[in-house]
Structure 1
């Protein structure tokens, strides 16, 4: 799959062509497979009501694209000539949201249909009339995006050709302004307009290109891929809160493993996870294996409709950068558990400068990591107390992930697997057996610190070094 994803942008480059027409290619119902009853009845109703009120309105973007690919859309979006205030006047259940990009959410019970007014591109030197402030920063990134325009303007300002398709459920026609149908048939992700300029307008488009390519099993068209590596550092200027949302979309869409490979290949992983990117350099096999296994498991759970916690995901993405920091603190004389806690605090604080991971996730991340230092300490009543810890299961799963990546733990994962399955008598025997293994008694850090190369040290977080 990855070979296919990348083969489209390894060939020699030619001058890119413009792909937006002022007059769209119109596909009648006999020229496409879409049917109005495939779409949300609420979305279709919104289009019909807006058209009846005298506005232009279409189903647009991902829902049209996915339907053409035989994929069930998660969301249904509407684009219209009506302004947000005019939309709200038509629907009592409508609410205007957003400042940088005003949208209208129309609520039908639990289903929300997003309605956007046709937008136009900002001129390069455009200024906001109300605030007398530029709508772009010095690098060309768009700061405000509430310039309304025509349907043609709206098609031109969309990011990818496959997202610039408009479906009218009333006439059952598809309007294609950017050869999007052609790119869907050829399974290509292609930017509309000049790729370098479009990425500078919004560097997150580079992440969106990767996400769509991984999700749809498409290749990235060569002209759209070429500027990504040199422009990747621009992601450092994106607000950390926005990057958190984008990273969740990248890794919680069911295609995280392929996404990770593309991010690394296109040098987009480093601006998102700088410490983990360094770990990929000095410890490539272990780091790549651990992250890939964690993401593959995430993809599997999503396909099986099982819950996935972002805390475990971020714990795996960041873990390879942690052991070296823990080791440095231990070499300065800090006991293992305090060293783990201090290193975790330092790493998470640095990471949150790039991606604003909320506290509701950073706390479980630290607890999962902390459990890796506690799991080898099993003597006396410690094993039972750990078993009752609400983070035991996540910590245990993480231990198995470390072992799967090749980390030597002296059979710790197998021991905990057997301990969970054993009855009370069997558990007591297992604890007594630890007494005959000086390296696994869990008698505390002071005794172990007298040995610089015991098995216990290899069994803990330092095994990732």
Structure 2
């Protein structure tokens, strides 16, 4: 195992969470091992300030919980401990070991017939834990006590070469957990690293395995992919490796087929990335509205050609698209309902009815709908200067924008049950 002393790893201690240091110190004081591990170490070596800190130890979850009052054990697939320190939560994991055979008495792991890990509570040594991690650049262990870094998987070498490399055989690791392919793409986009050749080649073979992942987990991954300020390069990599097909196949097809749709969606991602960098609020609803708009618009156009009114066509198409997408990604209603509102405002913004101007400006989804309208114009769609019109209205009535209370999803009046006549 390679030991990189503090003088060579050049980690700036002021970027290290005091809470994570306290967790490591308490573990070591109780004669357990403890290291800051994973992406935090990678970011520290790159000279960046990590957002989250994880700690790895040889203590079991129950032993960790016994040391910290504010600790709680979570997870089924692999148990971890959340230790709260003030406002910060430090995630503490026990060293993982190699999978035991299903017939073993001590087996705490379980795989599907396709190799997908269903349960993974197998504990091991630090060396075994390092070998079980997903990427070389995430398999380094930092000791905040003496400032050294343990690196037995050549993570430092790949950081210097700016490479994302899966540990072990890539196809085997992707079959264990297909989400690793999304992680490879996410880190390549975030760090602006290349993907190592074997790691890359296996993605093209194993991409369809993402269909095995529960929709709820895929939505969580969607948030990680697009809400961290690197959405545009992430989208382009997902398209390159045909991984977007597993999240929203119809949108992936249309974005690749129609240049105007690709322009719209990539610009939406780029605008959101800039908002993240500026520290402004971003919402998954707008990203989903932009990402799925090519499908909604295409289907709505077909309905209009079949004789349906434009507003009803958008409504019908939106319902269909959300229902189909939720089979791949479990979009919560708190996001899916605003997405449909953004779509349905498009036809109303296009019409520019003078009597409805103030009501539309006051709609709480107006800003997001207006931003989507501008993206449509920027992608060469002709909307009779609707964007300029609504820009002028906002200048004329600046205090109105987004002031209306939220609408409820069910707009239909409730029917009252007729009262029963009392007998006698």
Q: How far does the alpha carbon of each residue in 1:235-274 deviate from its partner, in whole angstroms, 9 at most, with x for none?
A: 1110110011111111111111111111111111111111
For residues 36 and 375 of structure 1, what CA distance do their matches in structure 2 show? 52
For residues 129 and 405 of structure 1, what CA distance do their matches in structure 2 show? 61
- Flag the structure with more relative contact order, 1 or 2, with Cα contacts below 8 A and sequence separation at least 6: 1
Equivalent residue in structure 2 for 1:86, among 28, 42, 63 = 63
Change in 2 beyond 3 A, CA 1:373/1:152: same
Equivalent residue in structure 1 for 2:356, among 364, 382, 386 = 382
For residues 134 and 303 of structure 1, what CA distance do their matches in structure 2 show? 41
Q: Which residue of 2 aligns with 1:353?
A: 327
Q: Which residue of 1 aligns with 2:222?
A: 247
Q: Contact conserved, 2:83 with 2:89, CA < 8 A, in 1?
A: yes
Q: Which residue of 1 aligns with 2:102?
A: 126
Q: How far does the alpha carbon of each residue in 1:194-241 deviate from its partner, in whole angstroms, 9 at most, with x for none?
A: 111011111100000011111111111111111101211111110110
Q: Which residue of 2 aligns with 1:166?
A: 141
Equivalent residue in structure 2 for 1:298, among 261, 265, 272 = 272
Q: How far does the alpha carbon of each residue in 1:321-354 deviate from its partner, in whole angstroms, 9 at most, with x for none?
A: 1122112222332221111111100011000111
Q: Which residue of 2 aligns with 1:333?
A: 307
For residues 397 and 143 of structure 1, what CA distance do their matches in structure 2 show? 42
Shift of 1:134: 6.9
For residues 198 and 102 of structure 1, what CA distance do their matches in structure 2 show? 20
For residues 413 and 152 of structure 1, what CA distance do their matches in structure 2 show? 59
Shift of 1:32: 1.7
Q: Which residue of 2 aligns with 1:114?
A: 91
Aligned length: 398
Shift of 1:75: 0.6
Q: Which residue of 1 aligns with 2:26?
A: 49
Q: Which residue of 2 aligns with 1:342?
A: 316
Change in 2 beyond 3 A, CA 1:380/1:179: closer
Q: Contact conserved, 2:352 with 2:386, CA < 8 A, in 1?
A: no
Equivalent residue in structure 1 for 2:10, among 33, 45, 48 = 33
Q: Which residue of 2 aligns with 1:280?
A: 255
TM-score by length of 1: 0.83
For residues 325 and 386 of structure 1, what CA distance do their matches in structure 2 show? 25
Shift of 1:49: 1.1
Q: Which residue of 2 aligns with 1:322?
A: 296
Equivalent residue in structure 2 for 1:63, among 40, 43, 46 = 40
For residues 225 and 309 of structure 1, what CA distance do their matches in structure 2 show? 31
1:309 paired to 2:283: yes
For residues 263 and 119 of structure 2, what CA distance do their matches in structure 1 show? 41
- In structure 1, the residue corresponding to 2:117 is in which secondary structure? coil
Q: Which residue of 2 aligns with 1:139?
A: 114
1:403 paired to 2:374: no
Q: Contact conserved, 1:78 with 1:113, CA < 8 A, in 2?
A: yes
Runs of at least 5 residues in structure 2 that lack an aligned partner in the other structure: 399-424
- In structure 1, the residue corresponding to 2:51 is in which secondary structure? coil
Shift of 1:395: 1.2
For residues 263 and 368 of structure 2, what CA distance do their matches in structure 1 show? 19
Shift of 1:145: 1.1
- In structure 1, the residue corresponding to 2:134 is in which secondary structure? coil
- In structure 2, the residue corresponding to 1:395 is in which secondary structure? helix
Change in 2 beyond 3 A, CA 1:217/1:45: same
For residues 346 and 372 of structure 1, what CA distance do their matches in structure 2 show? 17
Shift of 1:51: 1.1
Change in 2 beyond 3 A, CA 1:45/1:377: same
Q: Which residue of 2 aligns with 1:221?
A: 196
- In structure 2, the residue corresponding to 1:376 is in which secondary structure? helix
Q: Contact conserved, 1:243 with 1:356, CA < 8 A, in 2?
A: yes
TM-score by length of 2: 0.91
- In structure 2, the residue corresponding to 1:143 is in which secondary structure? strand
Q: Contact conserved, 1:188 with 1:221, CA < 8 A, in 2?
A: yes
For residues 411 and 49 of structure 1, what CA distance do their matches in structure 2 show? 64
For residues 291 and 324 of structure 1, what CA distance do their matches in structure 2 show? 15
Q: Contact conserved, 2:15 with 2:50, CA < 8 A, in 1?
A: no
Shift of 1:121: 2.6
Q: Contact conserved, 1:278 with 1:321, CA < 8 A, in 2?
A: no
Matches within 5 A, 1:424-435: none
Q: Which residue of 2 aligns with 1:267?
A: 242
